[in-house]
Amino acid sequence: MRKTSHAGEAVARVLIWAAAVFVMALLAFIITYLLVKGLPMIDWAFLTEIPRDMGREGGISSAIVGTLMITAIAVAIATPFGIGTAFYLSEYRKAGVATRLIRFCAESLAGIPSIVYGLFGFIFFVIYLNMGWSALSGGLTLAFMILPTIIRTSEEAIRAVPGIYRDVSFSLGATKWQTIYKAVLPSALPGIANGLILSVGRCIAETAAVIYTAGSVLRMPSSIFSPTRSMAVHFYILASERISMDNAYGTAALLIILIFIINVVANAIVNGLAKKGA
Amino acid sequence: MRVKIEVKNLSYYFGQERVIKDLSLRIPENVIFSVLGPARSGVTTLLRTLNRLSDLNPETRTEGEVLLDGEDVLAKDVNVTELRRRVGMVFDVPTPLPLSVYDNVAYGPRLRGTKGRKALADCVEGALRTAALWDDVKDRLNVPAMSLSGGQQQRLCIARVLAQGPEVILLDRPCSGLDPISTSKIEDSLIRLKESVTVVIAPHNVQQAGRISDRVAFMLMGRLIEEGETKKVFVSPEFRETSDYITGRFG
């Protein structure tokens, strides 16, 4: 038999290849540009010193700490609620009006622009609950923002667990909770972790929701009740108010490196988890 | 012979459909009991009713009784967890959980709070030996169970049930995807097992029923057609449907 050539095949291959190359080139350009501009700014002092003179001088240590605090609070609060809701939707509740309602709410939440979350957080946490501008207010607001992502990715991961695992676990005399905890959760964990990684990335990169709730103070936060400024907000203010483009690029580069590190570490953990079972 | 399981006028409804129709059956202790029947004849459903795995589907309903040592397992106040320890199940495809070999076998005992490394290790080793898998896996108890071959996985599933110290083992076409060598290993295990437990199996073909079972039942469209000693049913079945099925005219 002889190989036949189709014009369509060749065209499709070229188009698909071109799409992939275009996307990769674009990404590579953005990242290279930021790193070239920003990396020279990053040194030990940049990482460890507090910003001085509005950020023209000094480092960004307080913004790094603030970012990590806000992100940690958001993920710590949203994770149990998100995963709990996902298990409720997929394991405890038959498909019906209630599940559709919850899913509809979660999807609506996902579509709300982050600045609206910021406004809500400002009114509810900062003013009504009198938490003031603080890492806590910011973290709580971001928790609301990432909740839909965590619910949806977790639910998908749980639904992807083969039904036979549940049958097996029940057939060995496990109760419902034992089945979820010992048979379903371990196989859903890599998928759930993926959702969490996405959420961490969104928290680190968020500006609009944070600027209204955590504030934009340059001091080193002393507790979760202190106002603080996240790296993304710092970058935004430095750039938009033309305070220091150099330090803005430095911050942006560090932001990218941070997200990159988190992705690598999280992927290693997820792969470790996945390998234990299959 | 002592009766281990007695099914009395069992009917099973899936929604509106009656999947098992007024079925009565006695399964003696310490035998291999085969339940034969073509697809959709209710064999799997019958097996799953014996340890109430059928409960998992909420749209189902049963009538009649299933007596295990004289006690109705379909009663509302039955401890289903304990029932499933006493009546274990092996499925038609190998179903290792995404855990290590050891953790798969230790799954049931751990649920019941078997503590102490030694007690648990002994229990796991005993179960793996009885399932004729110990020599294959003794040096790699911590590898993922999924990395075993299909036949080994299915023997692992049998070991997992054995680790619970069951009185009855239900096997739903346990050799359907396996090669002849794996199949014969599993059959050998079952023949050894019947000294201590009662084996109820849906064989994957008529020949397997003939090879290993002491008694066979033949089901068709949710009804029991006939039941008796394997030799008698195979040599001189009472009903035409049975002989047609056994000789391979349909099914």
Task: Supply the ipTM of this predicted assembly.
Answer: 0.86
**Position with higher pLDDT, A25 vs B176:** A25
As to burial, measured by CB atoms within 10 angstroms (0-12 exposed, 13-18 middle, 19+ buried), residue A161 is buried
Mean pLDDT of chain B: 89
- CB distance A172–B111 less than 8 Å? yes
* Contact: A167, B160; criterion CB under 8 Å: no
Q: Exposed, middle or buried, A238 (CB in 10 Å: 0-12/13-18/19+)?
A: buried
| Cβ-Cβ contacts under 8 Å for A180 (sequence gap 6 or more) | A87, A91
Listed by number, the residues of chain B in 120-179 with a beta carbon closer than 8 Å to a beta carbon of chain A are 144, 146, 157, 160-161, 164
Q: What percent of chain A has pLDDT over 90?
A: 37
Residue A229 predicted with pLDDT over 90: no
Cβ pair B146:A171 closer than 8 A: no
Closest chain B residue by Cα to residue A181:
B111
Bridge partners of B144, per DSSP, are B100
Q: Which pLDDT belongs to residue A54?
A: 81
Measure in Å the smallest separation between the Cα of B111 and chain A Cα atoms: 7
More confident residue, B94 or A276: B94
Chain A contact present for B93, CB below 8 A: yes
Residue A277 has pLDDT above 60, yes or no: no
Contacts of B53 in chain A (CB under 8 A): 167, 170-171
Query: How close A275 comes to chain B (CA, Å)?
Result: 8
Contact yes or no for B99 and A186 at CB 8 A: yes
**Please, which residues have CB within 8 angstroms of residue A116's CB and are 6 or more apart in sequence?**
none
DSSP secondary structure code for residue A21 in this structure: H
* Number of inter-chain CB pairs under 8 A, A vs B: 69
Reply yes or no on whether the pLDDT at A272 is more than 80: no
**Amino acid letter for position B20:** I
- CB-nearest to B84 from A165, A172, A187 is A172
CB contact under 8 A, B144 and A169: no
CB < 8 Å to A270, chain B: none
CA B145 to each of CA A80, A225, B189: distance values in angstroms, whole numbers, following the listed order: 30, 49, 20
- The pTM of this model reads 0.79
Q: How far is CA B190 from CA A166, A178, B166, B196, B204, in A?
A: 25, 29, 13, 10, 14
